[in-house]
Amino acid sequence: MRRLFASLLALLALLAPTLAQAERVRDLGTFDGVRANQLTGYGVVVGLQGTGDDNLAYLTEAMKGVSGRLGMPLPPGISPGLKNAAAVIVTAELPAFAKPGQRIDITVSTMGKAKSLRGGALILTPLYGADGQIYAMAQGNVAVGGLGVSGKDGSQLTVNVPTVGRIASGASVERAVATGFDTEGQLNFNLHNADFLTAQRVRDAINARFPGAAQMLDAVSLAIVMPFGRDARSAVMAEIEMLEVTPAPQAARVIVNSRTGTVVINQAVRLNPAAISHGKLTIRIDEAPAVVQPAPFSQGETAVEEASTIVVEEQGGALIEMPGAASLSDVVAALNLLGVGASDLVVILEALRQAGALQAEMVIL
């Protein structure tokens, strides 16, 4: 673990850029209204090899509705066994400016006790937006990357997730979403990350190309005066998106994933001189109960005598001086002096920040 962590920090030091690089405006944010929309729907996958939901109530009702639409209504009181069908939730993302007739990818996920969607086909399913309107219709054969098998003795083997599948170009767009990007006299541009300096630099770059067109609203948004007409406005937006801007330096930040022990340090992190004493205390308790038998003809009872052994071990504890660090490579070298694992390093980094020796924000995931 220590060698792996040291290698990771060394790799980050080698890959860290020494100078900020110019980015395109389109990579820093998006125009207001030019965004994707989420779609969802409820459907049925058929053609499974006995891995479906069987007699699940809502699946049975869904199949009655499907058969009714096809002109074959089921008689009242009939509850068909549906091991070859599964109730699913269908999700998709409708891109900005998507037009009727275009195709989009969809994701199909089981919502019952179906074991696998492999080999199944999705029946025609409407996809709804947040406003309750139908924006696409989905249908097609489900491609599943997972695999699940089981034996008669109850043993099972599962590879990846067989209960989720994809259908490439599986939905046809039926309704376009009105963006309104060409109806207002000005259009807002929103940065992905709030930063006053980056917003100022984007404003200056736009005004250098289109004098007086942009002004800052806050650390995220800029208001840009646009010409009317789809063609003229689209041309201006295309030019703005391709302008190059050097974003502001990122804030010093240490990202810690408490579940995996992963620690990521960005290049803005700095260390002030500090001294650290880190030791590990281990307490081990061994239980060795012994059975005590009474003497013959003594009318005694067999008893259990407890015997416990407590061992305390303390490792480390030496005081280590950490020099000040002015770059990521210096931070890596200083942290490597500790020679501790990722879990202990998280505690040390937090203590350094509390002591004012670590100039960074700690983000715990």
Q: What is the DSSP string of 109-154?
A: EE-SS----TT-EEEEEEEE-TTS-EEEEEEEEPB---EEEE-TTS
Q: Where are the domains of the chain?
A: 2-13+252-364, 37-173, 180-245
- Chain position carrying tokens 């500790």: 338
* Confidence band for 80, pLDDT divided at 50, 70 and 90: low
Instruction: Say if residue 286's pLDDT is above 90.
Output: no
Compute how many other C-beta atoms are within 10 angstroms of the C-beta atom of residue 108.
Answer: 28
Mean pLDDT over each residue of the chain, to the nearest integer: 76
The pLDDT of residue 60 = 62
pLDDT digits (tens, 9 = 90+) for 68-77: 566 556 666 5
Both tokens assigned to 318: 């030496």
Cα Rg of the chain, angstroms: 32
Q: Name the pairing type of β-strands 253-257 and 361-364.
A: parallel
pLDDT digits (tens, 9 = 90+) for 56-69: 666 666 666 666 56
Residue 198 · residue 245 · CB < 8 Å: yes
* Confidence band for 336, pLDDT divided at 50, 70 and 90: low
Residue 301 · residue 285 · CB < 8 Å: no
pLDDT digits (tens, 9 = 90+) for 152-180: 555 555 666 788 889 999 999 998 887 77
Question: What residues form DSSP beta bridges with 104?
Answer: 171
Cα distance between residue 336 and residue 8, in whole Å: 11
